[in-house]
A and B are shown apart, each in its own frame.
Chain A
Amino acid sequence: MLATLFKFRGGIKPDAHKDESTRTPIAAAPLPARLVVPLRQNAGSAPLALVGPGQKVLKGERIGAPEGNFSAAVHAPTSGTVLAVEPRMLPHPSALSAPCVVIESDGEERWIERTPVDYAAESPDALRDRLRDAGIVGLGGATFPSHIKLQPGAAGRIGTLVINGAECEPWITCDDMLMRERAAGIVRGIGILRHIVSAERVLVGIEDNKPQAIAALRAAAAQAHGIEVVPVPTRYPAGGEKQLIRVLTGIEIPYGRLGTEFGVQCFNVGTAYATHRAIELGEPLVSRIVTLAGNVARPGNWEVPIGTPIDALLELAAPQAGTDRYIMGGPMMGFTLPRTDLPVTKAANCILAASPALFPPQGPEMPCIRCGACTHACPAELQPHELYWFARAKNFGKAQEYHIFDCIECGCCAYVCPSNIRLVDYYRFAKTSMRALEREKAAADAARERFEFRNVRSEREAKEKAERLAAKTAAARQAMAGGGQPAGTTPSVPAAPTTTAEAAAPLPQLDEAKRALIAAAIERARAQKEAVQPKNIDNLAPEKRAEIREIEARRAQVRELAKTPPEEPV
């Protein structure tokens, strides 16, 4: 158990506030009458709805199929009837809507047939598919599909598995309680993850302010071989993926690279537990542990079915007077919920009731004095004040040069800023704007390519048509000329009239041929017209037929008139 610990730079030590919500064990939240399950609950592409209104579903039945590989399935959190599949507002800072499945529960909690699997007998590929179909995503908050992270990188094998139990963000205790109460399940889940990537070493990083969780996990891991539980110093953001990997292994993952390229991959303890349930119990991810804390009378952790309205949860915690807003996630990285009738998703680790007493309003934003406090605090080793200037000036090229996409939005810089600048808001603005510009650029490039291809194609088509026509004319002319005219002498395209006498000589002959061609074409068209017999007149009334006959007679008369050329133009 003698692990050498490394350090990450920067970080802060805010008040942890972990005691309030860890006094009571995890309790099951009551089943609400109606659940709203968003289809998009994973990073990547949104799953496709598999159910329609009126359909009966069982608990754990798939209601959303993964769309492509970078996606994960969604399941019914309880048995009941699908009321609608419609856009509903998501718990997202944008307050935008996206397709959700609304389920009215029947209160029976009837499961689908669960098929537990012995993971040791399964191939890694089959297990990865099972995880995707069980809707397992990263439960630390990023909801990245786990089966993608379990694919071996370009460098080959993942030798070290890092299990993230750091839970560094203040107020949140869902991982802490999970480790205390369900350590055995977590260790079994770690075993499955480890089997899939065949990692030799497993390091479980837990912040040293959670002694009970460390003890519980150590006891559970004692039987398993090669799982080390390592207490890491309590410092926010020790639970950041890159930070924890660095602390435990000393590997610093560079800009734009992935952990798998260095033979290391990181999973949250909640994800490990969900993996255990999915594989060894056959239960897809339909619930998660949510911390209710902040300005509430009964803080604690609840096992909540996905899709439960946040309103219903808040009743359990009894928010106290003075609560002015609710935060999803922690105080550092969370966002203020636009409303409270939104559903709990796989990403919802904590609902925090905020009051001015607990979270005093920040003072007005003052000018940056370039004190450099943010640079000292930044765990990603960026220069936040420079990024701030570039983001504020919308100088996105320069912001990218200073690696804005390495920013993990942990909020350390804004926490230490003496000028109260909401630095992370600027970075989020810059990042999303840059992504939008990139999308636009890619779309413009694709449009240019298609436009150019279309131009080339229409040119080619015009040329081919002209050639075909020329060949046809030549053939027809040859046929008209008969044996008298040798094939080679007939030009395929009528020559432009020239003034010289020699060139003018064959012209009348050509004109004659052309005239004959035209006459033949007119004759063909006329014959075709006459050959057309009126259709669908069998069932008509006699007077209608008489009318048609009359019209036909008039037409025939006109045709006769047209055959004899008029004496003088009218």
Chain B
Amino acid sequence: MLSALLVMAGIAVVLGAMLGFASVRFKVKGDPLVDKIDAILPQTQCGQCGFPGCRPYAQAIAKGEAEINQCPPGGEEGIRKLADLLGKEFKPLSVEHGVEKPKQIAFIDEALCIGCTLCTQACPVDAIVGAAKQMHTIVAPLCTGCELCVSPCPVDCIAMVPVPETVETWKWKYPVVQIKVAGHA
């Protein structure tokens, strides 16, 4: 009787120690769900969702503090992906956070720029080069189209221009599926 109890207690101690060790050794740092959500978000860093960047929004979604339909640059497709990931119901994009637009990038009219550096400070992704009292310009491949530089400009020299389609970025259209018209058969 005693030996049986001792054996059971011994096993319990050993297993407990193993579990304790494993919980320390294989501890997951951070929240992997946040990373997964962040990977879906477009990284525009525009703040239209009401959070200061994509990652804070991802954290808020993970905590359940934000809805999944607050990201206009991600659009409907982004919401669908988030809904799939989180097992939630799809919702149309929340109108108060903005509307989905085609991809745009900022363009500085260099003749008007006075070199105030306000746009450089506003740019979340370091896509503007320039120095005080020097002309500024957008590094087009780095611009995410967040529009955060547009309103700080005191001389209104920044405009958002749509990104044109080029031979390199052109996509074949989805093949049109012909629907048989009734009566033709």
Contact = CB atoms under 8 A, between A and B. Distances in A.
Contacts of B178: 364-365
Contact of B38 (A429, A432, A448, A453): A448
21 contacts: A93-B172, A94-B165, A94-B170, A96-B170, A364-B178, A425-B172, A429-B173, A429-B174, A431-B172, A433-B172, A439-B169, A444-B43, A446-B142, A447-B125, A448-B38, A450-B142, A451-B53, A451-B54, A451-B124, A454-B124, A454-B126
A62 interface: no
A121 B48 CA distance: 65
Interface in B71-130: 124-127
Q: Is chain B's binding surface mostly helix, strand, loop or mixed?
A: loop
The 7 closest A-B pairs by CB, nearest first: A444-B43, A94-B170, A432-B171, A428-B172, A447-B43, A425-B175, A429-B172
Nearest to A436: B171
Interface string B23-53: 0000000000000001001111100000001
B167 A429 contact: no
Interface in A433-453: 433, 436, 439-440, 443-448, 450-453
B45 A451 contact: yes
Contacts of A445: 43
Interface string A52-67: 0000000000000000
A186 B142 CA distance: 46
Nearest to B54: A448
Contacts of B173: 429
Contacts of B177: 365
Interface string A181-203: 00000000000000000000000
Interface size of A as a range: 20 to 34
Contacts of A450: 125-127, 142
B144 interface: yes
A47 to B, nearest CB: 14
B132 to A, nearest CB: 16
B3 interface: no
B167 A96 contact: yes
Contacts of A426: 175
Contacts of B141: 443
Contacts of A475: none
Interface string A495-525: 0000000000000000000000000000000
B169 A40 contact: no
A385 to B, nearest CB: 15
Contacts of B174: 394, 429
Contacts of A554: none
A98 interface: yes
B171 A444 contact: no
Interface of A: 40, 90, 92-94, 96, 98, 364-365, 394, 422, 425-426, 428-429, 431-433, 436, 439-440, 443-448, 450-455
B172 A454 contact: no
Nearest to B121: A458
B125 A451 contact: yes
Interface of B: 38, 41-45, 53-55, 124-127, 141-142, 144, 165-167, 169-175, 177-178, 180
A96 B53 CA distance: 35
Contacts of A429: 171-175
B147 to A, nearest CB: 14
A444 B42 contact: yes
Contacts of B125: 447, 450-451, 454
B109 to A, nearest CB: 22
A27 to B, nearest CB: 31
A442 to B, nearest CB: 11
B45 A447 contact: yes
Contacts of A448: 38, 43, 54-55
Nearest to B124: A451
A440 B170 CA distance: 13
A40 B170 CA distance: 15
B139 to A, nearest CB: 10
A94 B167 contact: yes
Instruction: From A428, A432, A444, A453, name the one whose CB has the most chain B CB atoms within 10 angstroms.
Output: A444
Nearest to B170: A94
Nearest to A40: B167
Contacts of A443: 43, 141, 144
A214 B167 CA distance: 38
A294 B45 CA distance: 55
A458 B175 CA distance: 48
A455 B54 CA distance: 13
B30 to A, nearest CB: 13
Nearest to B144: A447
A212 B18 CA distance: 79
A96 B180 contact: no
Contacts of B165: 94, 96
Nearest to A428: B172
A90 B43 contact: no
Contacts of A439: 169
A451 B171 CA distance: 29
A10 to B, nearest CB: 22
A353 B142 CA distance: 44
Contacts of B41: 444
Contacts of A447: 43-45, 125, 142, 144
